[in-house]
Structure 1
Amino acid sequence: MVANPSILFPDAAAQAGAVSQAQHSERLLAVDSVNLEYRTRERIVRATHNVSFDVYGGDRFVLLGPSGCGKSTLLKAVAGFIAPHSGTISLDGEPVRGPGADRIVVFQEFDQLPPWKTVQQNVMFPLRTAKKLGRAEAKERALHYLEKVGLAAFADAYPHTLSGGMKQRVAIARALAMEPRVLLMDEPFAALDALTRRKMQEELLRLWEETHFTLLFVTHSIEEALVVGNRILLLSPHPGRVRAELNSHQYSHDSFGRIDFQRSVAHIHRLLFGETEAAQ
């Protein structure tokens, strides 16, 4: 078992790359000693215990851990939907006190789009509600991001005519159109079939290459974390505690068959579940 969190790098080149990245970006999100709790009929349950991490501008930061470790609860706290029992969460040095347009969430559920609005209207809706843009500007921006996710041809379609993957692409376009400081994604591809999931991961990374938005991504898939993230925070089984922080920018979908990738998957599994190297 890992008693204390550590920064782990596969090699010196990876470490140098991470240091270089840190030097060229600023800390955007700070989570400091956060404890999250919720009440059941019988008792108060602690979801996370003293979790701390920093997210820098342009990071693809992944919260990785088994079901029930509190990673989605952490994401909701960053979004401002729930308040920490103790500890602090700050964005640009200011405490997070509630939801805001600077943090937009893409959830796992496909049915997060109002069914009575067209695809274009769904993307425009938060822009208009937040009074960020006028109607003409909102329409232009909506079409811009729908084009980026490959759905401009479906601008006038309704959600019920779309596949699950297409609905998630609309949700991503809607979130990116708000141009948030941090894009929050809560296991957004978990319910998709394997082929669609991989395509969605590839599209997300392509969009990131174009705009370098800051991403906080939740998953329980080790392989997905290694591919999507450039930094990964490992959380222990319930209650979630920090096991380790790893750098993973060197991996892509082309890494799946490589020995070093498979070794990293096995190593992360041991870190998450407290298995010793000898036991393997």
Structure 2
Amino acid sequence: MVADPAVLYSPAAQSAAPSREQRSSEKLLAVDNVSLEYRTRERIVRATHQVSFDVYGGDRFVLLGPSGCGKSTLLKAVAGFIEPSAGSIALDGKPVRGPGADRIVVFQEFDQLPPWKTVLQNVAFPLRVARKLGRAEARERALHYLDKVGLAQFAHAYPHTLSGGMKQRVAIARALAMQPRVLLMDEPFAALDALTRRRMQEELLRLWDDARFTLLFVTHSIEEALIVGNRILLLSPHPGRVRAELNSHQYTHESGGHEFQQSVARIHRLLFEETEPAR
């Protein structure tokens, strides 16, 4: 049965009813009425307003919205880099008070790898520091995840010799090697060309199918959200408020027909239509 994006919960609801698979998994992340603000020279700007959602184990949960809706700010709050001005964020039932190895971020920028370290050293170093692994164990795990992303043969290369897509694959390997409770990805493929972006999406889904990690993914591409996510939270233009939540597990890169385009059009209307905000 194909889920219709028109079947959504209202912004006043706390979360959409989870699927059978989601009900059988544990709730890892709870974001409850979170408002986020930042200060400029002139004033305090509200980035998000009373946003709530839950992420379950094995979810590929996507935050989707236009530029400036606060989705990346929300991801940084989950990562512990920003404290909410209101509301709460909890992981495994415990309040998020700051960054931790249980939440690893893959950013959009290609240059997130120290250039003086080899690919292998880039993946192994956080394991030794944060996970307290010995040199041999860290090297073995790093090589395992480099093999998973198809870069084992580049283990001794330096970042400046890699393409943008390859650098992102190293960053993903480094994040997965840490075995976080939630993998956070902030528009990681946005700066890639269309062909590389599609390949990276396919590789991410292949990795997820193999390891079933929990993913919180930010994008402003409706098509990417439908393909990468199994659940999507729609955020309104600034300040970000919850517009709707939908299931999208049925879509793949082969879903390019009329039904897929119809879903894209419906989501676009939901994102940008003028509606009364949630109180």
> What is the TM-score of this pair, normalised by structure 2?
0.93
**Kept in 2: contact 1:6–1:245 (CA 8 A):** no
SS of residue in 2 equivalent to 1:243? strand
Letter paired with 2:27 = R
**Contact 1:6 1:244 (8 Å CA) reproduced:** no
How far apart in 1 are the matches of 2:140 and 2:98?
A: 29
* Structure-to-structure mapping, 1:97-246, within 5 angstroms: 97-246=97-246
* Superposition deviation, residue 3 in structure 1: 10
What is aligned with 2:266? 267
**What is the rounded CA distance, in whole Å, between the counterparts of 1:36 and 1:275 in structure 2?**
22
Rounded to whole Å, the distance in 2 between the matches of 1:132 and 1:31 is: 30
Deviation of the 1:23 alpha carbon: 2.2
Q: What is the match of residue 49 of structure 1?
A: 49
Measure the CA separation in 2 of the matches of 1:191 and 1:171.
Answer: 15
Matches of 1:3 and 1:32, distance apart in 2:
16
Residue of structure 2 in register with 1:91 after alignment: 91
Report SS of the residue matched to 1:114: coil
Q: How far did residue 22 of structure 1 move? A: 2.0
Q: Residue in 2 aligned with 1:5?
A: 11
Q: Within 2, Cα distance between the matches of 1:3 and 1:273?
A: 17
Once residues 131 and 25 of structure 2 are traced to their aligned partners in structure 1, the CA distance between those partners, rounded to angstroms, is 29
Q: Which range moves more in the overlay, 185-194 or 125-134?
A: 125-134
Does the CA contact (< 8 Å) of 2:47 and 2:239 recur in 1?
yes
1:259 offset after TM fit, Å? 1.0
Q: Which amino acid aligns with 1:262?
A: Q
User: Deviations for 1:123-158, whole angstroms, at most 9, x for unmatched residues?
Assistant: 001101114311100000000000000000000000
Is the contact between residue 6 and residue 243 of structure 1 (CA under 8 Å) also seen in structure 2?
no
Corresponding residue SS for 1:262 = helix
SS for the counterpart of 1:263 is helix
**Which residue type is aligned with residue 266 of structure 2?**
H
Alignment correspondent of 2:62: 62
**Distance in 2 of aligned mates of 1:6 and 1:189:** 32
User: Is this contact kept in 2: 1:187–1:219, CA < 8 A?
Assistant: yes
In the alignment of these two chains, the number of paired residues is 266
CA distance, structure 2, for counterparts of residue 42 and residue 209 of structure 1: 47
Q: Unpaired segments of 5 or more residues in structure 1?
A: 8-14
Extract unaligned runs of 5+ from structure 2. Answer: 1-7
Is it true that 1:21 corresponds to 2:21 in the alignment? yes
Alpha-carbon distance between aligned partners in 2 of 1:69 and 1:196, rounded to the nearest angstrom? 26
- How far apart are the structure 2 equivalents of 1:247 and 1:6? 18
- Paired residue secondary structure (2:237): coil
Tell me the secondary structure at the aligned position of residue 19 of structure 2. Answer: helix
**Cα distance, 1:21 vs structure 2:** 1.3
Secondary structure of the 2:213 match is coil
What is the rounded CA distance, in whole Å, between the counterparts of 1:23 and 1:33 in structure 2?
Answer: 22
**Contact 2:9–2:245 (Cα < 8 Å) also in 1:** no
C-alpha separation in 2, matches of 1:159 and 1:44:
39
Q: TM-score, normalised by structure 1?
A: 0.92
Q: Note the C-alpha offset of 1:19.
A: 2.3
Does the Cα contact within 8 Å between 1:33 and 1:87 map onto a contact in 2? Answer: yes
Contact 2:10–2:243 (Cα < 8 Å) also in 1: yes
How far does the alpha carbon of each residue in 1:8-40 deviate from its partner, in whole angstroms, 9 at most, with x for none? xxxxxxx99x52112221110000000000000
1:132, 1:212 → 2: CA distance? 24
Is the contact between residue 106 and residue 171 of structure 2 (CA under 8 Å) also seen in structure 1?
yes
Aligned-CA RMSD value: 1.7
Matched, 1:74 2:74: yes
The superposition leaves residues 32-71 of structure 1 with CA deviations (integer Å, 9 ceiling, x where unpaired) of 0000000000000000000000000000000000000000
What are the superposed Cα offsets for residues 145-187 of structure 1, whole Å, 9 maximum, x if unpaired? 0000000000000000000000000000000000000000000
Deviation at 1:6, TM superposition (A): 7.6
Query: Which amino acid counterpart does residue 199 of structure 1 have in structure 2?
Result: R
In structure 2, the partner of 1:10 is none
